[in-house]
């Protein structure tokens, strides 16, 4: 039912300079796998096979990663290292990848609107690859179930310490009767100061969006930080009762920060390896 997943991947990754000077931040690895590959695996696990990537200048490595490297294939064929390519080969076989470029960096909302040409008029998932999630059942797969029940936009949330609300979109809402993890969203604020935050329920980088979001985004003025914010566009849907927030099961690492990246590396090394 959700067939496409959008990956906004045009950002500069300035927090990881100089590593991200010539390497996309989405290609930074946790152990041996680039962040964006974890995201694509999570989408596939949710039954999504069409990957739509909003790319930008200096991001060619992403396209090359999801393609065959004939020279490499030739070099390692039949050798002990060949199985190391099994996972990525299987992803390439099962998914299609299409790309469009975001010419100007005007925020996450603008990046998502740039992806309209790849998505069209259907509900779709969004993965921000620097939020790395791990759970028995993938977070996107959990969200697709929620979407099936409520037929409206879904944001994944988790509780964060109150002094960190200024790093996230924050929601307010009421638990839906009969659930203990799904809220009908009544308000959303992008990166509020702790003193202004309506709750400590923070949006993480997983969304399912209904396609009317594109028209809303076209009319959304620049918000926090002078950027077009997806949070502001979602608030328009929320005012009509058309956004639910889902407290997903699993762990999430903020690999957009050095602390989160190191934490994820250690956790995956000790737990998954
Ligand atoms: C973006 C969104 C924010 C959300 C966050 C999740 O912020 O604007 O609402 O909480 O992703 O990672 P960014 O981290 O790109 O600054």
> Residue 169 CA: which ligand 1 atom is closest?
9
CA distances (Å), 211 to each of 109, 116, 131, 208, 265, in order? 13, 9, 23, 10, 35
What was the pLDDT predicted at 272? 77
Give the ligand 1 atom nearest the CA of 230. 8
Q: What is the pLDDT of residues 194-213, one digit of tens each?
A: 999 999 999 999 999 999 99
Tell me the CA–centroid distance for residue 151 and ligand 1, in Å: 23
CATH assignment of the domain containing 37: 3.90.550.10
Task: Look at residue 40 in the predicted model and tell me its pLDDT.
Answer: 98
What is the tens place of the pLDDT at every residue in 31-82? 999 999 999 999 999 999 999 999 998 899 999 999 998 899 899 999 899 8
Dihedral of CA atoms 211, 11, 65, 115 in degrees, nearest 10, equals 20
**131 in contact with ligand 1, CB cutoff 6 A:** yes
- For ligand 1, the distance from its centroid to the CA atom of residue 109, given in whole angstroms, is 10
Q: What is the pLDDT of residue 141?
A: 98
For residue 205, report the distance from its CA to the centre of ligand 1, in Å.
6
Looking from the CA of residue 202, the nearest atom of ligand 1 is 10
pLDDT attached to residue 113: 98
**In the prediction, which pLDDT does 273 show?**
66
Does ligand 1 lie within 6 Å of residue 40's CB atom? no
Q: pLDDT tens digits, residue range 103-133?
A: 999 999 999 999 999 999 999 999 999 999 9
User: In this predicted model, what pLDDT tens digit does every residue of 141-194 receive, in sequence order?
Assistant: 999 999 999 999 999 999 999 999 999 999 999 999 999 999 999 999 999 999
How far is C-alpha 141 from the chain's CA centre? 13
CB of 205 sitting under 6 A from ligand 1: yes
- For residue 125, report the distance from its CA to the centre of ligand 1, in Å: 15
Q: Does residue 245's CB lie within 6 angstroms of at least one atom of ligand 1?
A: no
Is pLDDT at 257 greater than 80 in this prediction? yes
Task: Output the CA 60–ligand 1 centroid distance in Å.
Answer: 24
- Sequence-distant (≥ 6) Cβ neighbours of residue 72 within 8 angstroms: 85
Which residue minimizes the CA distance to atom 10 of ligand 1?
168
CA distance 112 to 122: 14
Q: Is the CB of 108 under 6 A from ligand 1?
A: yes
Could you give the number of structural domains in the chain? 1
Q: Which range of residues forms the domain containing residue 215?
A: 4-271
Alpha-carbon distance 218 to 232, whole Å?
Answer: 12
Q: Which atom of ligand 1 is nearest to the CA of 190?
A: 9
Closest CA to 243 of 159, 133, 123, 138: 123
């Amino acid at each position: 039912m959700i067939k496409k997943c959008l990956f906004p991947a045009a950002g500069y990754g300035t927090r990881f300079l100089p590593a991200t000077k010539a390497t996309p931040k989405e290609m930074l690895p946790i152990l041996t796998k680039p962040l964006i590959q974890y995201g694509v695996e999570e989408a596939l696990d949710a039954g999504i096979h069409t990957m739509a990537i909003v790319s930008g200048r200096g991001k060619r490595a992403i396209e090359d990663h999801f393609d065959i490297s004939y020279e490499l294939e030739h070099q390692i064929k039949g050798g002990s290292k060949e199985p190391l390519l099994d996972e990525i080969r299987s992803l390439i076989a099962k998914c299609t990848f299409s790309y469009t470029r975001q010419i100007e960096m005007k925020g996450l909302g603008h990046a998502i609107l740039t992806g309209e040409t790849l998505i069209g008029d259907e509900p779709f998932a969004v993965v921000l690859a620097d939020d790395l999630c791990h759970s028995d059942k993938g977070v996107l797969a959990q969200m697709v179930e929620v979407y099936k029940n409520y037929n409206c936009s879904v944001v994944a949330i988790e509780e964060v310490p109150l002094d960190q609300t200024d790093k996230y979109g924050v929601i307010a809402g009421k638990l839906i009767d009969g659930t203990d993890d799904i809220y009908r969203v009544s308000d959303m604020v992008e990166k509020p100061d702790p003193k202004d935050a309506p709750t400590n329920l923070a949006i993480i980088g997983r969304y399912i969006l209904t396609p009317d979001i594109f028209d809303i985004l076209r009319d959304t003025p620049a918000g926090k930080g002078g950027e077009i914010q997806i949070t502001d566009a979602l608030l328009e849907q929320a005012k009509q009762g058309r956004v639910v927030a889902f407290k997903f099961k699993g762990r999430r690492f903020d690999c957009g920060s050095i602390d989160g990246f190191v934490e994820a590396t250690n956790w995956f090394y000790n737990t998954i390896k």
